[in-house]
Amino acid sequence: MSEVTPRRVLLDKANPDVFKAQLAVAKAVRTATGTAGMDRRFVELLNVRVSQINGCAYCLDVHSTAALEAGESAQRLAVLPAWSETSLFSDKERAALTLVESVTRLPGSVDQDRDYAAASSVLTEVEMAAVSWVAIAMNAFNRISIVSRHQVRPHSDTTSPKGK
């Protein structure tokens, strides 16, 4: 006996004004990251990591593609779940990844304080705020897509071998 999965309400379509407000938040976060001197590649790397933690296939598809287009390497994206085990990430990236993971997972206050202290030893206040807002906004978009069950559609990838 198979279980029937109920059709999901597409939150972005059901309440377009609320979704537009979320897009406005994303635009403000983009401004904040620009003010903090963070380039698109760096921001997309953070978006991918948050989406990995949350298991949001739709956002992983969108932001992995955007990261590659912004100049991120396939190698770094491939090892991103184990970033702390590699030397492929700069001190600033490691500090930001520590912070976005902490904001996403919301560990207990002792661990959160440790993560915040580690990140703030490398990042400026402006960068700390921008990175935190990236995580907060991405977490919201992850939840919108997960609850709505936004579907990942195949890309028309001209770089992959035919038939694969």
What's the number of domains the chain is made of? Answer: 1
Buried b (16+ CB within 10 A) or exposed e, 30-67: bebbeebebebbbbbbbbbbbbbbbebebbbbbbbebb
| pLDDT tens track for 107-152 | 999 999 999 999 999 999 999 999 999 999 999 999 999 999 999 9
Q: Could you tell me if 25 and 116 are in contact, meaning their C-beta atoms sit under 8 angstroms apart?
A: no
157 belongs to a structural domain? no
Q: What is the mean pLDDT of residues 19-23?
A: 98
Q: Is 71 left (phi over 0), alpha (psi -120 to 50) or beta?
A: left
Q: Residue 142's domain spans which residues?
A: 16-148
Nearest Cα residue to 66 out of 88, 55, 53, 51: 51
163 pLDDT above the threshold of 50? no
| pLDDT tens track for 32-64 | 999 999 999 999 999 999 999 999 999 999 999
3 belongs to a structural domain? no
What percent of the chain has pLDDT above 90?
Answer: 90
Q: Is 79 helix (H, G, I), strand (E, B) or coil?
A: helix
162 belongs to a structural domain? no
130 belongs to a structural domain? yes
111 belongs to a structural domain? yes
154 belongs to a structural domain? no
Residue whose entry in the numeric block shows the structure tokens 């635009």:
27
8 belongs to a structural domain? no
Please report, as a single letter, which amino acid is at residue 65. T
CATH number at residue 141: 1.20.1290.10
163 belongs to a structural domain? no
159 pLDDT above the threshold of 60? no
What percent of the chain has pLDDT above 70?
Answer: 94
DSSP classification of residue 124: -
